Structure 1
């Protein structure tokens, strides 16, 4: 391999993106389950199947505001019925209809015994307080929701591994489910390394910069409906050792930014290994984020602590969160699957690079074809194009890409 290829990050020994993802999935130990109320379970993964304990609907009910009727067959226009009562939704009734009788009824109300059909109020003419007339032909069993027509007792509502979306929670709630068994969410500590973080504009005079990584990561987890604890640590071996040693006993995942390369002040990897972590991989043939580091620690109680070390450049952190952190978090909750890549058409040429690249792009449909367009300012220290990006697109290593070729990517919420 030429020195130029090595210099741009394709030196020997690097693993591919797919190999790194496979290693994460192979080494992630699924966490135990816990029981939560439905209002706590948004975005969590079910640890067991959920079966209905009730019928839906619970009882046969009216689908409209109208009149419950008792008639032997199809009702012809100008048929009259004796009005014998009224039934509101949510109110019980002992009313029983006989042939030729009707009851005022409202949407969702339980139909009385003897009902053969329901006439919506738009086709009913009220003659007087005791009699009504049907103005249109009406078939038997119209506008009746039958007991159990949607869900019956014992029917599967949701499967193990399913993520609880807003719709899933609404569906389970309607079926009377109040609590669910879900895989425990990993307890996450975020460690931001470095002495260069500015607190005020005055700090710029000494060469410091504002921190984008902590707000980026905190917001990313908030988007997943999860809270994390964030720690800042100075670039000293003693400080990094003390913090990682403490966190490794209390957290399932330690997510770090910076300190994973080969600089004089990059202490994350040597400290982690000295504390007994096993390196799973270090350095991936990708851009940005080559020096990503993944290690595991087996604890005395047979549980594990995972450390995922991301480079310090904010674009590398962002990519690492979307690709690797997401994969690891899902795997710890029983979802051992790689990212769900989409396929799209590239709208322009791209030069070759020795490493696989993740480019921030804009995706849109044109005549039912998904197309992606690269954005400017792709350097690893830049984030401004996230204002326009809605996807990360994989560009293969060592290949020039041309307009019209198919590429893979994932959608993001920037």
Structure 2
């Protein structure tokens, strides 16, 4: 296990207290601890964006047979055809036309010296063929004769059997996500079914008595709920279903709900209740129920009181708890960085979300914690650049109308305009 990074014992403000770990340490602990989900076999056309649970090797070669790369004529020059130079058939060489072959037909004819066969793209090359002459350089003399009008290299425009893929070649690896291109590639190689990791079963728990259920609640000081719609939409984008629960801010209600969910779900994702307030019950209740804390509190802004824990059931299976702070900006950051990492790891992809480097367009002051800022990306003279948006406080979300990146700003470091920073696409 990666040890927590050492901090000064003197409290110098929020984010400076001892025991906090870095974002990278937190992500490393997630990847270290997560056990893989179960597997299932799917038809290839139903496996888009799923993660492979096995390596896939080709049972065939590609192309399956030697074939024409163009519409033209398969030819076999005679020994008497004069070669302009080595391996080149001279222009104005003539051939006897004996038939044609289309894509999907079997090449049952064998070309003898001096013969040609009309052939179309993808059609099987007949025996005896040394070259395919594309139709643009062929002149038809009569119904039985053709002539090539340019010098032609031997073996031109022939796709050799197995030149792309050989039998037994590795096509895809376990943990690889199946993109549109990957599905097309596997389909071309004759793969019809794939073994993938199952989607984890996920419960989302929204805490907070302040969430309004109707317009009348606003008179009592309650607020709209952004977290549940945010999380539900995020999972819809991942093509994953979740069950959403709301729980009152009492230890009894939290205990009853978590005790039920930890027996039924692979991941419990909570919002709020993970800090040290009088009504923050998620962490103490989870620990009382037998969850083992993997980390709590990350040196980041927003989202410091991040919690990650595991509950090992009697059959050895595991329920993970990822506790996000309640402020919606912290939830948004946590979904893109931590929840994505957890989901990836459960499905065999043990890597943090893909990032990028870009030049910051302005100065940024230093902060005790690493900051994750919502920014906009642009290209300027082929350079990727990012700019901060206003309203970065953890309770604000209005800038998400324009944000397309989360950018990491190192702790305790002033960043100058033009300096390179790391970010995640959102």
TM-score when normalising by structure 2: 0.89
1:207 aligns with 2:214: no
| Conservation of the 8 A alpha-carbon contact between 1:361 and 1:375 | yes
Q: Which residue of 2 aligns with 1:345?
A: 359
| Secondary structure at the counterpart of residue 128 of structure 2 | coil
1:63 aligns with 2:69: yes
How far 1:181 moved relative to its partner? 2.6
| Conservation of the 8 A alpha-carbon contact between 2:9 and 2:17 | no
1:398 aligns with 2:405: no
How far 1:119 moved relative to its partner? 1.3
Cα deviation, 1:231-285, whole Å, max 9, x if unaligned, reads 2233333332222222211211111112222333322112212211112222222
Deviates more, 1:97-106 or 1:293-302: 97-106
How far 1:22 moved relative to its partner? 2.4
1:174 aligns with 2:188: yes
Cα deviation, 1:313-353, whole Å, max 9, x if unaligned, reads 11101100111111222222333334454333322222222
| Conservation of the 8 A alpha-carbon contact between 2:55 and 2:172 | yes
Q: Which residue of 2 aligns with 1:105?
A: 119
Distance, in Å, in 1 between the alignment partners of 2:105 and 2:126 is: 12
Distance, in Å, in 1 between the alignment partners of 2:218 and 2:55 is: 55
| Secondary structure at the counterpart of residue 153 of structure 2 | coil
Match runs of 1:51-200 below 5 Å: 51-72=57-78, 74-200=88-214
| Secondary structure at the counterpart of residue 394 of structure 2 | coil
| Secondary structure at the counterpart of residue 82 of structure 1 | strand
How far 1:153 moved relative to its partner? 0.6
Q: Which residue of 2 aligns with 1:279?
A: 293
Question: Which of 313, 330, 334 pairs up with 1:299?
Answer: 313
| Conservation of the 8 A alpha-carbon contact between 1:88 and 1:109 | yes
Q: Which residue of 1 aligns with 2:84?
A: none
| Secondary structure at the counterpart of residue 12 of structure 2 | helix
Q: Which residue of 2 aligns with 1:257?
A: 271
Q: Which residue of 2 aligns with 1:5?
A: 12
Match runs of 1:375-386 below 5 Å: 375-386=389-400
| Conservation of the 8 A alpha-carbon contact between 1:42 and 1:225 | no
| Secondary structure at the counterpart of residue 327 of structure 1 | helix
Q: Do the aligned partners of residues 202 and 104 (structure 1) sit closer, same or farther apart at CA in structure 2, a change above 3 Å counting? A: farther
How far 1:170 moved relative to its partner? 1.3
Question: Which of 236, 239, 244 pairs up with 2:250?
Answer: 236
Distance, in Å, in 2 between the alignment partners of 1:3 and 1:202 is: 46
| Secondary structure at the counterpart of residue 219 of structure 1 | helix
Cα deviation, 1:100-136, whole Å, max 9, x if unaligned, reads 2222211111111221111111122223333322222
Deviates more, 1:385-394 or 1:138-147: 385-394
How far 1:159 moved relative to its partner? 2.4
| Secondary structure at the counterpart of residue 249 of structure 1 | coil
Cα deviation, 1:41-95, whole Å, max 9, x if unaligned, reads 2233333321111010000011111111121464333333222222111122422
Distance, in Å, in 2 between the alignment partners of 1:289 and 1:197 is: 20
Distance, in Å, in 2 between the alignment partners of 1:90 and 1:230 is: 53
- The number of aligned residues is 411
Q: Unpaired segments of 5 or more residues in structure 1?
A: none
Q: Do the aligned partners of residues 199 and 79 (structure 1) sit closer, same or farther apart at CA in structure 2, a change above 3 Å counting? A: farther
| Conservation of the 8 A alpha-carbon contact between 1:213 and 1:317 | yes
Distance, in Å, in 2 between the alignment partners of 1:60 and 1:313 is: 62
| Conservation of the 8 A alpha-carbon contact between 1:193 and 1:232 | yes
Q: Which residue of 2 aligns with 1:45?
A: 51
Distance, in Å, in 2 between the alignment partners of 1:248 and 1:53 is: 43
Deviates more, 1:305-314 or 1:202-211: 202-211
Q: Do the aligned partners of residues 11 and 4 (structure 1) sit closer, same or farther apart at CA in structure 2, a change above 3 Å counting? A: closer
- C-alpha root-mean-square deviation of aligned residues, in Å? 2.3
